[in-house]
Structure 1
Amino acid sequence: MDLRRLSHVLALADELHFARAAARVHLSQPAFSRSIQAIEAELGLRLFERGDADVRPTPAGQFVIDGARKLLFDARCLQRNIDLYRDVELGDTAFGVGPFPAVTLMPRVLSELRQRHPRVALRVEESNWKQLLERLRGENIEFFVSDTNELPEETALTIRLLPAERIEFYARSGHPLAGTRCAFAQIWQFGLASATPPAMMQATLAATLGQPASTTVPALECDNFGILRAVALSTEAVLASPRALVAADVEAGALVKLAIMDAPVLIVRPGIVSLTGRTPSPIARSAMECIERVANSVLRPADDCQP
């Protein structure tokens, strides 16, 4: 039984006029009349009495109309449930984030995802790129967002790069180095607070100090930016951070950017990392698109961040 033709029957039952019913379902009147005739022929029943000025359902027609209303209602309910089921399936996913994108991107990303897909379930894991890569390979997460400087170059990984940012050095207002031009070695004396630096970045920091590459430069390594920020605001430790993470504190005057004469060039190159050949779930695709959109809005790369 053709549900579309049954909807035409209901339109005619409601309008009791061929022209109005045809307009309601966006058909020409001849095409609409042929549809009614076709379903009458299919059922072997005359559903409507046609008068000069009006149309009336026959007893058989009223019987079909009552059943059609229920059938079409159930069909709409089924379609709605299918849509809801599909939306719920969108949310059975998990992804990972590194310490920097967790602060700069995730509040807005997760807010947008919740607004767009209020019925989905998301699990977000925060860690460093090494642990996130292990979770990705174990298929415990669908993708992760982190610094890509030291990710292995392999075809098994697909990387969607986001805007790069330069690492700057910040201290609390009133710090002894605030408002002066200083050397990087002076910062080291106060202690550097940083997320776990990749080996390449660690070597760059050591080289700036004239130390062996194996030298441990940060006095405090922590992948929780909230802790790093709290330490920088309450001690004389210097915070190494992309500017997007501390913009609010700098604007409020709580943190100041230090003027370092020999500051090393340290670039964070965040990216969305997934397994090549694995089809992401719909919510994963939606999340990745949202992350890219937010990153392009929030992250403002320095001129020298380009490769």
Structure 2
Amino acid sequence: MDLKRWTHIVAVADRRSFVRAAEQVHLSQPALTRSIQAAEAELGLVLFDRGNQDVVPTPAGEFIVARARQLVFDNRCLERDIALYRSLELGDTAFGVGPFPAATFLAPLLASMRREFPAIHLRVEISNWQLLLARLREEDIEFFVADTRDLPIDSGLEVRPLRHEPGGFYVRAGHALARLRAVTLQQLWTCGVLSVRLPAEVRGVIAQLLGLPSAAELSLALECDDVELLKDIALDCDSVLAAPHAAVAQEVEAGRLRALEVKGLPISASEMGVVTLNGRTPSPMARLLMSRLPAGA
């Protein structure tokens, strides 16, 4: 039985009159009567006693009306929720970000979303691309943003490039290296370098510049996916921080961190992209979030 007929049954039970119920559901009285008669025929039950005055549900009618009322209510709620979902006022999503995106544009992005859509629930997982890819394939997140240089070639994935985030090496104010016009990579590695997991391409370039036989020989003093933690450590010791410029802009402006000029080092930047499962339709909120990510140059 279609939902309109359940609506008719509830209207007759509520208004106790075919005439008044017909006005409520915008039908003629004969059309509503035929609808109720068809419902009774389909169910094999008499739903209403037609008295001289009020129309009242039979015992079977009381049983049916209670359940029909819930169906009608749930449908109204569903229609409302669909309208809210379409207008981005209801719904939620989960997505992932790598360490560099988390340290650069994530906070302002989430703050703007909270201001505009306070009823939305978001879940963000911050990790390296390997773990985020596993979450994506498990469909635990809808998309993730990370440096995609080491991402495996996979027809099941769709990758949209985002802007490059230039990076460099930084030390605390007062560090011996901060007084030098330029430093060497060897000097940096002697002090100990703090960084997130470096892409294979970057590791290869640095290993070659350091004169190491292979990228496997390159070691970091501390490797961690939390850029904020690495930044705090660099501010409190003589280790050297490798990070995107945007992640340390405030500390550099305040004079707490100093950028180092490194001899012979090519300009480096993270190559971020947004990664989704090919063929999976994103939710409206996921689609909006992805549209607000920093576009590629």
* TM norm structure 1: 0.67
Partner of 2:84: 84
Distance 1:77 1:197, change over 3 A: closer
In the alignment, which residue of structure 1 is the partner of 2:213?
212
* Structure 2 residue aligned with 1:282: 284
1:26-175 to 2 correspondences below 5 Å: 82-84=82-84, 90-175=90-175
Counterpart in the other structure of 1:191 = 192
Cα RMSD after superposing both structures: 2.6
Give secondary structure in 1 for the equivalent of 2:178: coil
Contact 1:163/1:270 (CA < 8 Å) preserved in 2? yes
Q: 1:34 — aligned with what?
A: none
Aligned-pair distance for 1:83? 2.5
Q: CA deviation at 1:78?
A: 8.7
Distance in 2 between the 1:273 and 1:81 partners? 28
Measured against aligned partners, the alpha-carbon deviations of 1:200-255 in whole angstroms (never above 9, x if no partner) come to 22222211100122113311100001110011101111111111111111100000
Q: Structure 1 residues 88 and 251, CA, compared in 2 at 3 Å: closer, same or farther?
A: closer
Give how far 1:146 is off.
0.5
CA distance in 2 between counterparts of 1:104 and 1:239 reads: 15
Structure 1 equivalent of residue 238 of structure 2: 236
Asked if structure 2 preserves the Cα contact closer than 8 Å seen for 1:94 and 1:142, the reply is yes
Deviation at 1:81, TM superposition (A): 5.4
Aligned-pair distance for 1:166?
A: 2.6
Shift of 1:82: 4.5
Distance 1:90 1:146 in 2: 27
Residue identity matched to 2:172: R
The 3-state SS of whatever aligns with 1:182 is: coil
Distance in 1 between the 2:167 and 2:266 partners?
A: 9
Work out the CA distance in 2 between the residues paired with 1:120 and 1:86. 13
Inter-partner Cα distance in structure 1 for 2:139 and 2:200: 26
Match of 2:42 in 1: none
Code of the residue aligned with 1:120 in structure 2: it is I
Provide closer, same or farther for how the CA distance between residues 90 and 97 of structure 1 changes in structure 2, counting only shifts above 3 A: farther
Task: Tell me the residue number matched to 2:34.
Answer: none
Unaligned runs of 5+ in 1: 1-41, 45-73, 302-307
Deviation beyond 6 Å, 4+ runs, structure 1: 76-79
Identity of aligned pairs, percent? 46
Q: Secondary structure at the match of 1:246?
A: helix
For residue 260 of structure 1, report the CA deviation from its aligned partner: 1.3
Q: Distance in 2 between matches of 1:130 and 1:77?
A: 40
User: Do 2:85 and 2:284's aligned partners in 1 also have CA atoms closer than 8 Å?
Assistant: no
Q: Contact (CA 8 Å) 1:88, 1:119: kept in 2 or not?
A: no
TM (norm. structure 2) is 0.69
Give the conservation status (yes or no) of the 8 Å contact 2:168–2:243.
yes
| Cα distance between partner residues in 2 of 1:105 and 1:90 | 24
Any unmatched runs of 5+ in structure 2?
1-26, 30-72
Q: How many residues align?
A: 225
